[in-house]
């Protein structure tokens, strides 16, 4: 008998369309299930319905069975202890200020005796090796450690089912990988049923039992990982979710039917062995996977569609930047770099190496402790923080955009002068303003219009921008009600309304599903064509390799590598893209899917 | 102290008595020896940043008291100086000095208490009576650094927006206030939004199903009993001495203090003994490490 069973389950939020329709699922004990789908497809709603305490308010049809019983009927103690729910943001789930209290919190809620509580906490810390962190303040932990503490806090209750809503989306790749290996261990050694939602499934695919692809509330595909690949590879939405290894395999399969005889690869080892077998097969017919003509990538990279103008003035120049938040720990030690117009630069590096710090110093949010930054004259900068919610303070998205063009832009006394001025000269064009003679009245206005080339964007330009980012449907909503990807877009548009010459993005693809990432990449390319320089920090190596022209690796407080993505990744063995890891033997310079497509003509 | 654990209730009682005595005793000799003992205790517990802050805070305040008291209080019979219409009396000056001494001693006692008892032990004592308050305090301690961080980030962004759009603008006073209000609005609404997730997480882990227990447990050990009996005896003797008049001097209306008077008697020694137990324990522990 299955542990969890959805029987014709449909759900809708009040006054809205069905978020989930006709879900029929069975989850056996000890299975590891992965839920995937574009944002808005109902994954979180599905998981939240399994937990009585947080099930969303709304109307539902059909029944969910837990262990044979209707899930709404099970006693609260059972629901709280046997089903554990882990949220996306490691920061928000914590309630106490030290680790021990956090882990003991659920046990205290259950009313267990002090001795029993101490027993369970001791067992948990021994298993996960948290001894040295036990009395630490939670603010001092890294993101991965926080998420681990959250997980421990669930596990002390001895759950049978774990529900995880995008547990690794806010973590860097190393921490994510550690977390997933712990999940795997929990599933294999303790037979805990796990249902997880994720966007980056490359690491998870090899060891799940079943993958479920949701789209607009319906279960589109539901099968074992290997079988689901062949079903989903032709779907234009879900093919983006499949691991890179599988996608490369299918690309090659369209050209070489031989691969159809082999097993579909899910991890890099299987992928590489498939490539080796294919190569052997091709050798029989005198061809090979290795390209006969070694392409000159230097030349190729130089002919990128967006010309980088190195001859013109440098936008930003850093000389010997040093920075630290406290004297005991210096984060940046001597940074020297220049940024040229039209570039798309990505800053990479491990966790805590100072990428966000460097970005904030470049954008001018913080002053370096030592060293100078020089900006080009009249350089307009835009900055989008890691958490887009920090930028919002109005009730609707519409007001957010209006606020930028009016309030922040001109100080209040000058607004009256603008009106007066405009009525006299009857022109909104900034050029005519600067040409007109200055009068005796205070005209710092002229200076403020002339020194920066930023007349507020006209309504038409603004509407065009909103349409480009597909935000027209969101104008009436409160910014907090929008999904993560939409919030990111709103924050970017807000920054763009000030006509920046250079845009600083801090981890723009955090927590985004693959389709939204493609959209964002498209938009950034369009903006780059219009002349915008983009600087971003990211952990997403595949995104950086595909879309940026220059990668910088931060290590030990300084810039270790500063080169094209191809040069950076093809020379690395471990810190490189999935594609590169798979095709290294045959295409040492291949770092993105498009490289693979070009080289092997698929 | 790392090798000896004393029950938090015993600590609370002991320090409470010390504070009480700092108020009650008036004799400069007693206060001076009190001060010395407390300073020794703090030195053994480790001079920390908060201690330095306390001293920095205290010195201007004590000077203020010593100056203000003679100026405001004209009661007293031994004049020293004449300003305007009234005298500066010796009594008022002495009273000011003694008061600031008492204050210093109390501040130091608090500082020492802070080092000896962690807030978790405090919660343990009060959680049975006030379970909700301890939960709220724990959450407050968690959220204050978080809110601080958020405020710093929002401040950075706000400054950035301002310098980017009109760098030469002088901010009028009203503009500054408006800007700060906006900052706080963003932080508050952001924190409220994220705290909904915290609430969900708490509910999901069973908050509110049953009455909460605590994972902390402290037992009474032998040291605690000895400590308690020691305190009881010395306190009783000191209080009898106090009632007989030893340990207090008359300041108003006439100073009746003789510097050469010998304060040493058995009540004085019991008082000193009251101050010594923790010093003794700390000292003994320091010896074991060397």
Residue A57 CB neighbours (<10 A): 6
Distance between CA atoms of A8 and B8, rounded to whole angstroms?
Answer: 58
Q: Where are the domains of chain A?
A: 4-231, 412-430+444-452
A489 near A469, Cβ under 8 Å? yes
- Which letter does DSSP use for residue A138 in this model? G
CA angle A413, A419, A420 (to 5 degrees): 90
Distance between CA atoms of A321 and A318, rounded to whole angstroms?
Answer: 7
**A157 close contact with B: CB closer than 8 A:** yes
Average pLDDT over residues A322-334: 91
Average pLDDT over residues A514-543: 91
Q: What is the pLDDT of residue A324?
A: 92
Please give the mean pLDDT across all residues of chain A: 84
* Region of B285 on the Ramachandran plot (φ > 0 left; ψ -120 to 50 alpha; else beta): alpha
The ipTM is: 0.81
Place of tokens 């991965």: A144
Residue B257 CB neighbours (<10 A): 15
**Chain A residues in contact with B194 (beta carbon < 8 A):** 89, 91-92
Residues 160-219, chain B, touching A (beta carbon < 8 A): 160-166, 168-169, 175, 182, 185-186, 189-190, 193-195, 197-198, 200-217
Residues 43-72, chain B, touching A (beta carbon < 8 A): none
Q: Nearest chain B Cα to A75, which residue?
A: B209
Residue A486, pLDDT > 60, answer: yes
Across the interface, of B154, B159, B215, the residue whose CB is closest to A104 is B215
Across the interface, of A89, A108, A385, the residue whose CB is closest to B212 is A108
Across the interface, of A105, A385, A393, the residue whose CB is closest to B205 is A105
A172 near A350, Cβ under 8 Å? yes
How near does any CA of chain A get to the CA of B48, in Å?
A: 18
Place of tokens 């110093």: A361
- Side by side, the strands of the sheet bearing A316-326 are A329-339, A316-326, A370-375
Ramachandran angles phi, psi of A450, nearest 5°:
-85, -40
B246 near B21, Cβ under 8 Å? no
Residue A309, pLDDT > 60, answer: no
A181 near A151, Cβ under 8 Å? no
Q: What is the pLDDT of residue A443?
A: 35
How near does any CA of chain B get to the CA of A326, in Å?
A: 15
pLDDT digits (tens, 9 = 90+) for B222-250: 989 999 999 999 999 999 988 887 778 77
Residue A346, pLDDT > 90, answer: yes
Residue A109's nearest CA partner among A67, A80, A145, A149 is: A80
**A405 close contact with B: CB closer than 8 A:** no
Distance between CA atoms of B27 and A539, rounded to whole angstroms?
Answer: 68
3-state helix, strand and coil shares in percent for chain B, rounded to the nearest 5:
70, 5, 25
CB-based contact B157 A383, cutoff 8 Å: yes
pLDDT digits (tens, 9 = 90+) for A61-75: 999 999 989 999 999
- When computed from its CA atoms, the radius of gyration of chain A, rounded to whole angstroms, is 27
pLDDT digits (tens, 9 = 90+) for A61-116: 999 999 989 999 999 989 999 999 999 899 989 998 889 999 999 999 998 898 99
**Under CATH, which number does the domain A4-231 receive?**
3.40.50.300
Q: Where are the domains of chain B?
A: 8-123+218-288, 136-204
First and final CA of chain B: distance in angstroms?
15
Q: Which helix (H) or strand (E) holds A137?
A: none
**Chain A residues in contact with B157 (beta carbon < 8 A):** 365, 383, 385, 390-391
Show the tokens assigned to A249. Answer: 């395999």
How near does any CA of chain A get to the CA of B60, in Å?
A: 29
Q: What is the pLDDT of residue A284?
A: 87
**A391 close contact with B: CB closer than 8 A:** yes
Show the tokens assigned to A212. Answer: 């479920």
Distance between CA atoms of A206 and A225, rounded to whole angstroms?
Answer: 8
Continuous H helices in A59-156: 76-82, 99-109, 114-128, 143-155
CB-based contact B175 A411, cutoff 8 Å: yes
Name the E strands within A357-490.
370-375, 381-384
Q: What is the pLDDT of residue B69?
A: 84
Residue B187, pLDDT > 90, answer: yes
CA angle A373, A378, A382 (to 5 degrees): 75
Residues 6+ apart with CB under 8 A from A377: none
Average pLDDT over residues A438-447: 37
Query: The whole model's pTM is what?
Result: 0.83
CB-based contact B150 A390, cutoff 8 Å: yes
**A390 close contact with B: CB closer than 8 A:** yes
Show the tokens assigned to A516. Answer: 């939204």
Average pLDDT over residues A238-267: 88
Residue B174 CB neighbours (<10 A): 9
Q: What is the pLDDT of residue A188?
A: 93
Average pLDDT over residues A491-502: 89
CB-based contact B138 A97, cutoff 8 Å: yes
Average pLDDT over residues A274-294: 82
Report the helix count and the strand count for chain A, using DSSP H and E.
22, 19
B27 near B247, Cβ under 8 Å? yes
Across the interface, of A107, A137, A480, the residue whose CB is closest to B215 is A107
Cα A243 to the chain's mean position, in Å? 16
Ramachandran angles phi, psi of A135, nearest 5°:
-105, 15
Residue A413, pLDDT > 70, answer: no
Q: Nearest chain B Cα to A360, which residue?
A: B156
Average pLDDT over residues A198-217: 89
Continuous H helices in A157-243: 173-190, 225-232
3-class DSSP assignment, residue B27:
coil
């Amino acid at each position: 008998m299955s542990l969890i069973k959805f029987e014709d389950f449909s759900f809708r939020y009040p006054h809205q369309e069905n978020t989930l329709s006709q879900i029929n699922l069975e989850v056996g004990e000890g299975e590891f299930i992965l839920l995937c789908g574009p944002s808005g497809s109902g994954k979180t709603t599905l998981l939240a319905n399994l937990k009585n305490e947080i099930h969303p308010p709304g109307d539902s049809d059909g029944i969910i069975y837990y262990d044979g019983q209707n899930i709404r009927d099970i006693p609260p103690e059972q629901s709280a202890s046997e089903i554990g729910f882990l949220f996306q943001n490691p920061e928000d789930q914590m309630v106490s200020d030290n680790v021990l209290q956090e882990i003991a919190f659920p046990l205290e809620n259950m009313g267990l005796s002090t001795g029993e509580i101490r027993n369970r906490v001791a067992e948990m810390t021994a298993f996960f090796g948290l001894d040295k962190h036990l009395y630490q303040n939670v603010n001092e932990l890294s993101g991965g450690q926080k998420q681990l503490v959250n997980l421990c806090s669930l596990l002390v209750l001895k759950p049978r089912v774990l529900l995880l809503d995008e547990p690794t989306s806010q973590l860097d790749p190393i921490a994510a990988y550690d977390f997933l290996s712990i999940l795997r261990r929990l599933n294999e050694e303790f037979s805990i049923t796990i249902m997880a939602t994720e966007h980056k499934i490359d690491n998870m695919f090899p060891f799940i039992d079943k993958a479920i692809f949701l789209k607009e509330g319906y279960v589109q595909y539901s099968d074992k990982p290997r079988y689901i690949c062949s079903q989903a590879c032709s779907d234009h939405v879900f093919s983006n979710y499949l691991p890179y290894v599988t996608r490369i395999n299918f690309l090659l399969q369209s050209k070489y039917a031989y691969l159809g005889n082999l097993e579909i690869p899910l991890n890099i080892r299987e992928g590489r062995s498939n490539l080796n077998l294919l190569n052997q097969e091709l050798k029989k017919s005198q061809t090979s996977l290795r390209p006969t003509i070694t392409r000159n990538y230097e030349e190729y990279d130089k002919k990128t569609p967006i010309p980088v103008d190195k001859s013109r003035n440098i936008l930003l120049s850093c000389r010997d930047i040093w920075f630290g938040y406290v004297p005991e720990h210096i984060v940046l030690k001597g940074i020297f770099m220049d940024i040229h117009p039209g570039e798309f630069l990505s800053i990479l590096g491990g966790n805590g190496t100072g990428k966000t710090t460097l970005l904030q110093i470049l954008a001018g949010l913080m002053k370096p402790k030592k060293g100078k930054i020089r900006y080009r004259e009249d350089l307009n900068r835009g900055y989008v923080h890691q958490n887009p919610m920090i930028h919002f303070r109005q009730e609707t998205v519409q007001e957010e955009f209006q606020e930028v063009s009016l309030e922040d832009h001109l100080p209040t006394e000058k607004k009256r002068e603008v009106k007066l001025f405009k009525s006299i000269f009857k022109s909104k064009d900034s050029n005519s303003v600067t040409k007109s003679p200055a009068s005796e009245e205070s005209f710092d206005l002229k200076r403020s219009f002339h020194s920066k080339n930023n007349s507020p964007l006209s309504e038409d330009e603004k509407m065009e921008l909103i349409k480009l980012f597909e935000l027209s449907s969101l104008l009436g909503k409160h910014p907090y009600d929008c999904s993560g990807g939409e919030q990111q877009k709103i924050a970017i548009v807000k920054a763009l309304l000030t006509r920046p010459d250079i845009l600083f993005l801090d981890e723009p693809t955090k927590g985004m599903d693959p389709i939204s990432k493609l959209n964002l990449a498209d938009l950034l390319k369009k903006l780059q064509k219009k002349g915008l320089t983009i600087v971003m920090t990211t952990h997403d190596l595949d995104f950086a390799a595909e879309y940026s022209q220059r990668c910088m690796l931060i290590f030990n407080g300084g810039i270790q590598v500063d080169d094209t993505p191809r040069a950076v990744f093809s020379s690395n063995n471990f810190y490189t893209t999935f594609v590169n890891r798979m095709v290294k033997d045959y295409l040492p310079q291949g770092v993105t899917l498009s490289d693979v497509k070009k080289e092997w003509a698929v | 102290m790392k090798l000896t654990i004393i029950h938090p209730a015993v600590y609370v009682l002991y320090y409470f008595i010390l504070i009480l005595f700092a108020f009650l005793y008036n004799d400069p000799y007693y206060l001076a020896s009190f001060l010395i003992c407390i300073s020794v205790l703090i030195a053994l517990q480790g001079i920390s940043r908060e201690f330095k802050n306390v001293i920095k805070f205290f010195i201007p305040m004590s000077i203020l008291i010593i100056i203000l008291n003679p100026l405001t209080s004209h009661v007293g019979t031994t004049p020293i100086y004449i300003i305007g219409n009234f005298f500066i009396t010796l009594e008022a000056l002495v009273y000011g000095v003694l008061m600031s001494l008492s204050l210093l001693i109390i501040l130091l006692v608090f500082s020492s208490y802070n080092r000896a008892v962690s807030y978790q032990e405090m919660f343990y004592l009060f959680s049975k009576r006030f379970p909700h308050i301890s939960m709220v305090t724990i959450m407050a301690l968690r959220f204050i650094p978080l809110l601080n961080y958020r405020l710093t980030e929002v401040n950075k962004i706000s400054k950035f927006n301002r310098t980017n759009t009109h760098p030469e603008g002088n901010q009028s006073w009203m503009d500054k206030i408006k800007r700060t209000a906006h900052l706080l609005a963003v932080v508050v609404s952001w924190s409220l939004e994220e705290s909904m997730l915290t609430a969900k997480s708490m509910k999901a882990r069973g908050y509110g199903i049953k009455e909460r227990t605590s994972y902390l447990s402290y037992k009474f050990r032998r040291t605690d009993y000895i400590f308690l009996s020691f305190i009881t005896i010395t306190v009783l003797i000191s209080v009898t001495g106090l009632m007989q008049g030893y340990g207090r001097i008359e300041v108003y209306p006439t100073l009746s203090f003789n510097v050469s008077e010998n304060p040493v008697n058995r009540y004085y020694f019991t008082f000193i003994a009251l101050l010594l137990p923790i010093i003794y324990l700390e000292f003994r522990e320091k010896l074991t490490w060397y």
